[in-house]
Chain A
Amino acid sequence: MLLIDLLNGVSFGMILFLIASGLSLTFGVMGVLNLSHGLFYILGALLSLELVQRGVNFWVGGVAAAAFVGLLGLLIERGFLSRLHNRLNEQVLLSIGFVYIFSNLMAWIWGPSGRLGPAPAGLGGSVHIGMDSFPIYRLAILAIGGAVAAGLWLVTQRTRAGAIVRAGMDDRDITRALGVNYGLVCSAVFVLGSFVGGFAGFVGSPVMATNPGMGFELLLLSLIVIVVGGVGSVTGTLLGSLLIGCIDSFGRAYFPNLAYFTIYLAMIVVLLVKPTGLFGRARART
């Protein structure tokens, strides 16, 4: 049924938004390409599953896991990435190194198999839509993703902090000249991006199995989303995610032989027509 296909695409797209929004912000604000971003999702998922398995409330465990991931992001940013400003090659190598280190660490702790958990109480089961069933938790993901998107939009568009972030994305030097501690801004954005990445893992853990080796797959999806939606734009990332989610779902359902290519085709079209993405902004001058 078309409605089910649409709901599949939109719910998957929401998960993509949660994964990619953090990367979009950090890349847009800091100009740092953190290729280990997928790790935040994986760690958020595995940690929240571990806490829930030990009896912690689903929501408390999820937020705690995301907070831990945010703290890890702070350590990575302060300890390593902040020292590699404008050194793209080193950023790439360092973040790829982190992928291997943390993937193996997580495989050592949790094993290589995919893990996923039950939906929280009240959100399990499915609803009937016509002749088909659709999971209630996926409908909840639409609400959660929407709330996160609204929150991020409000912060970036309607707060002083958000104005500083946007100013820095437009012109970092002027922003600094106005007395803004841009290093602190970058750290705060990276922590937020990591937190949201970990939160995405927690939200996705009842839907998709998480294994320590899937970091690059998640990174690739995130990159496609921010290329399509535009770097540094919450609106762009949201619309890009929903578009990619729907293209992927409909592609798999109706053109299965093209399942390998559909989202890449979308990315290529956007790159050709609007290289900065649908709602992208130009990179900050430094």
Chain B
Amino acid sequence: MPKFKHRALVSVVATILTVFVAVIVAGCGSSTTSGPIKIGVILPYSGDGQYYSKMIENGVRAKLDEVSNKIQGRDVQLVTADSAGDPAKGAEAAKKLVEVDKVDVVLPDLFSNVSLAIQDYLATTGTPMVLTSQSLPFMKGDLAFAPYGTTGSSSTLMGPYVVDNLGYKTVSEMFDDYAGAEGYMKGFTDTYTAKGGSVVQTQKPPLGTIDYAPYISKIQQADAMAIWFIPPEAPTFFKQYKDYGKTAPVIYVYIGTLVDRDVAQIGDLGGEGTIGQGYYSSAIDTPSNKAFVDMMTTKYGGPPTSYEFGGYVAASIIVQGVTATKGDTEHATLIAALKNVSVDSPTGKISFAGNGLGICNQYILKVAQVNGTYVLQPVETFEQVKNQ
């Protein structure tokens, strides 16, 4: 064969092969109806939040194990990414999950400021996100599904309860000086003052305060003390509050953030009787919660907290959403299905109002000793609260 004909043939074959490979590679992009369903989980696996991240992930995996890691015949894969508690890293992690790992849905971060950064990115891709805890008040839009509402809604029931049931007409407030704590306290303050209660004082120690003595010494006389601190700082407050001879009862406006060892320590430090709002406790006495507690204790060696519960419920919402779409994880289709989800969680039905904020049971919880152990004991149940 003449040389120029040979070269031409080689060129043609190479071109055909290249086009063929390109078509194959393009076709290997994820399909929304076949292949594995990918759930992206962004949590602070390093840094201060790592302990809680593992708890949330355990909850997610517990639900996926229940469905044998399959939904509508499709395998489910959990793809995790570390935000390190940093908004920039969280957004980067979201980008990687969406663009490289091709996840279908994202479970955003433990920290609300990181979740906000993640949402900003996901809004550009239309990827839905299901929160495992509360959102910040200004997180909105079609993409975010917050079963427990915003930080503000986590304490709104405390206001009327404190006035009507406990008779505390005045409170002194103290909480960490950052957006999450402001949100928790605002929810309480708004409903408390609307019911005629009076806030005599507000003190906001900076995050990272290690000595609350200057603030505790300045607490003004009131019927009760309303507080919110991040869990590592709460024990110092309770200890020093008692050391300085303060006796007014303490309201921990959103108490669900505490895990068992926090509750035990607060109880030991004189915090027995501290009361607050929450959406979960292992002490909630329902058959479904007992079964959930038994399952998690067997699986992971201890009773679940609101963190495991949050992960479990988020995964349940996704399972039901994808089941409703018959396995189709196309964004708009899945989002429409998630809006109509109604899961039977260990504590009762959880569904969504039109704005992506959840409807669920909420509880007034008290630090109490049960069988020699301090737990968050429910003292009042509010059924199917429409969270704001």
Report which A residues bind B (CB closer than 8 A).
Answer: 1, 4-5, 8-9, 11-12, 15, 107, 111-116, 126, 132-135, 137-138, 206-209, 211, 213-214, 217-218, 248-250, 252-253, 256, 259-260
Contact A259 B236 (CB under 8 A): no
Is there an interface contact between A116 and B235, defined as CB atoms closer than 8 Å? Answer: yes
Q: Which residues of A contact B205 (CB under 8 A)?
A: 252, 259
- List, in ascending order, chain B residues with CB within 8 A of A248's CB: 211, 214
A5-B217, A126-B245, A256-B204 are contacts. A114–B234 as well, Cβ < 8 Å? yes
Interface flags, B47-62, vs A, CB<8A=1, else 0 = 1101110000000000
Q: Assess the A8–B261 pair: CB atoms within 8 A.
A: no
Chain A residue nearest to B203 (CB atoms) is A256
* Further pairs besides A248-B214, A249-B213: 14, Cβ < 8 Å: A12-B211, A112-B52, A113-B262, A114-B232, A135-B243, A207-B211, A207-B243, A208-B211, A214-B208, A217-B210, A250-B214, A253-B214, A256-B203, A259-B205
Complex A-B, nearest 7 residue pairs according to Cβ-Cβ distance, in ascending order:
A133-B245, A252-B214, A135-B243, A209-B236, A114-B232, A112-B51, A253-B214
* A2 CB, min distance to chain B CBs, angstroms: 10
Size range of the chain B interface in the assembly: 20 to 34
A12 to B245, CA, bound (A): 18
**Beta-carbon contact of B51 and A133 below 8 Å:** no
What would be 5 A-B contacts, judged by CB atoms less than 8 Å apart? Answer: A111-B261, A113-B232, A126-B245, A135-B243, A253-B214
B213 in contact with A8 (CB, 8 Å)? yes
**Contacting pair B214 A107 (CB below 8 A):** no
Q: Mark B318-344, 1 if CB is under 8 A from A, else 0.
A: 000000000000000000000000000
**Cβ-based interface call for B287 (8 A):** no
B233 beta carbon closer than 8 Å to chain A? yes
A133 touches B261 (CB 8 A): no
Given that A8-B214, A12-B211 are known contacts, is A112 also in contact with B239, CB under 8 Å in the complex? no
Contacts of B204 in A (CB 8 A): 256
| Distance (whole angstroms) from the CB of A197 to the closest CB of chain B | 15
Q: Is B231 an interface residue (CB 8 A)?
A: yes
B residues contacting A by CB (< 8 A) are 47-48, 50-52, 203-206, 208, 210-211, 213-215, 217-218, 231-236, 239-240, 243-245, 259, 261-262, 265, 269
Closest-by-CB residue of A relative to B218 is A253
- The complex places the Cα of A116 from the Cα of B265 at a distance, in Å, of 9
A residues less than 8 Å from B245 (CB atoms): 126, 132-133
A1 to B47, CA, bound (A): 39
For A138, the chain B residues whose CB sits under 8 A away are 213, 243
Number of A-B pairs whose CB atoms are under 8 Å? 100
CB pair A115 B265 closer than 8 Å: yes
User: Does A213 lie within 8 Å of B236, measured CB to CB?
Assistant: no
Query: Knowing A209-B239, A253-B218 touch, does A112 contact B233 (C-beta < 8 A)?
Result: no
B374 to nearest A CB, angstroms? 14
A114 cross-chain contacts in B, Cβ below 8 A: 231-236
Q: Which residues of A contact B234 (CB under 8 A)?
A: 114
A259: which of B206, B232, B243 is its contact (CB, 8 Å)?
Answer: B206
CB distance from A126 to the nearest CB of B (A): 5
> Which single member of A11, A134, A217 contacts B208 (CB below 8 Å)?
A217
Question: In the assembled complex, which residues on chain B have CB atoms less than 8 Å from the CB atom of A9?
Answer: 214
User: Considering the chains assembled together, what is the distance between the CA atoms of A217 and B233 in angstroms?
Assistant: 13
Query: In the complex the two chains form, is A213's CB within 8 Å of B244's CB?
Result: no
Residues from chain B with Cβ under 8 Å of A5 in the complex: 214, 217
Other-chain residue from A107, A115, A134 in contact with B244 (beta carbon distance below 8 A): A134
A126 touches B244 (CB 8 A): yes
Known: A114-B232, A116-B236, A133-B244. A8 touches B217 (CB 8 A): yes
Residues in B neighbouring A8, C-beta threshold 8 A: 211, 213-214, 217
Contact (Cβ within 8 A) A208 B210 = yes
Cα A133 to Cα B232 with chains together (Å): 25
Would you call B243 and A113 a contact (CB within 8 A)? no
Contact A107 B240, beta carbon cutoff 8 Å = no
Complex: A206 Cα to B234 Cα, angstroms: 14
Question: Can you name the residue of chain A whose Cβ is closest to the Cβ of B217?
Answer: A4
Give the residues in chain B near A116, CB-CB below 8 Å.
235-236, 239, 269
User: What residues of A have a CB within 8 angstroms of the CB of B213 in the complex?
Assistant: 8, 11-12, 138, 249
Q: Which of A111, A137, A208, A249 contacts B214 (CB 8 A)?
A: A249
Do the beta carbons of A112 and B243 come within 8 Å of each other? no
Q: Which residue of A lies closest to B215 (CB)?
A: A252
Cβ-closest chain B residue relative to A206? B239
Decide: A213 and B48 in contact? CB cutoff 8 A: yes
Q: Hey, which chain B residues are within 8 Å of A126, CB to CB?
A: 243-245
**Which chain A positions have C-beta within 8 A of B232?**
112-114, 209, 211, 213-214
Separation of A268 and B95 alpha carbons in the complex (Å): 41
Q: Contacting B265 at CB < 8 Å: which of A15, A113, A206, A207?
A: A113
Q: Which residues of A contact B240 (CB under 8 A)?
A: 135, 207
Contact between A208 and B236, CB atoms less than 8 A apart = yes
CB B268 to nearest CB in A, in angstroms, measures 8
Query: From A250, which residue of chain B is reached at the shortest CB distance?
Result: B214
CA distance in complex: A4, B219 (Å): 13
CA distance A116 to B269 in the complex (A): 9
A217 neighbours in B (Cβ, 8 Å):
208, 210
B234, B239, B262 interface centre (most CB from chain A within 10 Å): B239
Q: State how many angstroms separate the Cβ of B256 from the closest Cβ of chain A.
A: 15
Of A126, A135, A137, chain B has the most CB atoms within 10 Å of the CB of A135
Q: B206 touching A260 by the CB < 8 A rule?
A: yes
* Set of chain A residues within 8 Å of B50, measured between Cβ atoms: 107, 112
B267 smallest CB distance to A (angstroms): 13
Instruction: Give CA–CA (A152, B300) in the complex, Å.
Output: 49
In the bound assembly, the distance between CA atoms of A166 and B265 in angstroms comes to 45
| Pairwise interchain contact B235-A113, C-beta atoms closer than 8 A | yes
CB-CB under 8 A from A252, the residues of chain B are 205, 214-215
Q: Assess the A135–B231 pair: CB atoms within 8 A.
A: no
Whole-angstrom distance between the Cβ of A211 and the nearest chain B Cβ: 4
Min Cβ gap A96→B in Å is: 14
Q: Which of A115, A133, A218 touches B235 (beta carbons < 8 Å)?
A: A115
A214 contacts across to B, CB distance below 8 A: 208, 210, 232
A253 touching B217 in the complex, CB below 8 Å, given contacts A135-B243, A209-B239, A213-B48: yes
